[in-house]
Structure 1
Amino acid sequence: MKPVSVEHMSIRFGAVTILPDVSFDVAAGECFGLVGESGSGKSTILRCASMLLSIWTGDVTIGGRSVREMPLNERCRTLQMVFQDPYGSLHPRHSIRTVLSEPLKIQGLDDRERRMREALGDVGLPASFLDRYPHQLSGGQRQRVAIARALILEPEVLLLDEPTSALDVSVQAEILNLLVRLREERGFTYIMVSHDLAVIDHMCDRFAVMQSGEIVEVLPREAIKGNEATHPYARELIGASLEYESVV
């Protein structure tokens, strides 16, 4: 269980500034949400923090250690990312056994069969799924495999990029409850991107509202119900979500 600190993160693509200067802290074991309209920079923060993008300035520290200074193997053991699309994040020609065994081989870990079986069990899938391929699984099962892949190296921080938005509504709650249970059992620190404030309300302790690459307000989860935001955009965003929920 480790805290995460994002310090003056900034990134530009050509003449376009995506993130001008973003800073926030996440306590050890906390689930911290990032919300805002499309293009506000939420997913870019996760891609920078995981070093999938490397052309940014500023720093991200985990337990006081900079992700920039971590060797790749150490970084992979410290943080993992679960992507939005379970269809695109798994190689269609790789069996689930291959998907789960590759990180173990790269890290030089032994007892791979036990680790793979345990990882599937942790996400509610039977060991028999090891010999299946992604096209043989439902969307929810694929996302469970993606979560198992993130868990298998026993990281301390998980970055969740809208992990349920590509799934049927009936499956979304199952995946969210799985993530809640895993955090309770393992003490993970989560940073979670979502468009859905109902998901943030269910998952997160605090959340940041983003607009045009900037954090305009950080709020506790309890502020959603009564729309206690003070920034105009944050109030508008929460108000629209509450109005939509009252209609549906």
Structure 2
Amino acid sequence: MKSLSVSDLSVSFGALQVLHEISFDVRPGECFGLVGESGSGKSTVLRCASMLWSNWTGQVGIGDADVRTMSPSTRCRTLQMVFQDPYGSLHPRHAIRTVLSEPLKIQGVGDRDARMAQAMIDVGLPVDFLDRYPHQLSGGQRQRVAIARALIVEPDLLLLDEPTSALDVSVQAEILNLLAKLKEEKGFTYVMVSHDLAVVDHMCDRFAVMQAGRIVEILDHQAIAGNGASAPYARELIAASLEYERIA
């Protein structure tokens, strides 16, 4: 497991600045959340940290290494990302065996059949699903495959971009429990984007509240139950979530 450090991360799209000097640290083995309304910049932080978007300023480090100076192979072996949409993140014409074997081929990892079988077992899917195609799987099963693809190269850091928001509520719980189990067993460090504070409370040790491309406050997850935030926006966000849960 490795730490993640983000310092003065800023992003502009033309004249529009979408991230303003974002800074936070994630301890090894910690699950750190990013919450806030849509458009606050949460997913953009993950895309910068993973170098899916490279036109940013500031510093992002994993352990002692700067992500900008890591080779693509090393970076992809060190961090992986699970996307929001399990329907769009898997190639519709590739069997699950192909989906899982490609990262191993790229990284030059041997014993591929055994690793693919173990990855399927780790995410709670039958090994014979390797010969199925994405359209033959449910949304929850597809997301399990996406998680298997991320963990098959044994990364230190997983970036989770709303990994359950496109799923039914009952399936969401299954995926969250799976992620918690994998973190405990394999010692992953997580950064999780979510708009659902119940998910953050269940999964995260700490979380940052974002508004308009800025971090307004960083809190322990215990602050949710009693609304222990001090920043006005963070208090309003938590209060709205608590009120929604009370009504529901």
* TM-score bin (small chain): over 0.9
1:219 aligns with 219
> Is 1:140 matched with 2:140?
yes
**Residues 176-187 of structure 1: pairs in structure 2 closer than 5 A:** 176-187=176-187
2:236 aligns with 236
1:93 aligns with 93
Could you tell me which amino acid in structure 1 is paired with residue 19 of structure 2?
L
Deviations 1:50-91 (A, max 9, x none): 000000011111112111110000001100000000000000
C-alpha separation in 1, matches of 2:5 and 2:20? 17
Could you tell me which amino acid in structure 2 is paired with residue 127 of structure 1?
V
1:190 aligns with 190
C-alpha separation in 2, matches of 1:195 and 1:121? 29
1:130 aligns with 130
Secondary structure at the aligned position of 2:125 is classed as coil
2:169 aligns with 169
> Is 1:58 matched with 2:76?
no
1:119 aligns with 119
Could you tell me which amino acid in structure 2 is paired with residue 9 of structure 1?
L
- 1:144, distance to aligned residue in structure 2 (A): 0.1
C-alpha separation in 1, matches of 2:26 and 2:100? 29
Could you tell me which amino acid in structure 2 is paired with residue 58 of structure 1?
G
C-alpha separation in 2, matches of 1:241 and 1:161? 20
- 1:15, distance to aligned residue in structure 2 (A): 0.5
- What is the RMSD computed on CA atoms of the aligned residues? 0.4
C-alpha separation in 1, matches of 2:145 and 2:172? 15
> Is 1:39 matched with 2:39?
yes
Give the unaligned 5+ runs of structure 1. Answer: none
Q: 4+ residue runs of structure 1 moved beyond 2 angstroms?
A: none
C-alpha separation in 2, matches of 1:61 and 1:25? 9
C-alpha separation in 2, matches of 1:12 and 1:206? 27
Count of residues in Structure 1 that have an aligned counterpart in Structure 2: 248
TM-score by length of 1: 0.99
Could you tell me which amino acid in structure 2 is paired with residue 16 of structure 1?
L
Identity between Structure 1 and Structure 2 (%): 75
Deviations 1:19-71 (A, max 9, x none): 01100000000000000000000000000000000000111111121111100
Give the unaligned 5+ runs of structure 2. Answer: none
> Is 1:210 matched with 2:245?
no
Secondary structure at the aligned position of 2:114 is classed as helix
1:74 aligns with 74
TM-score by length of 2: 0.99
1:6 aligns with 6
C-alpha separation in 2, matches of 1:27 and 1:146? 24
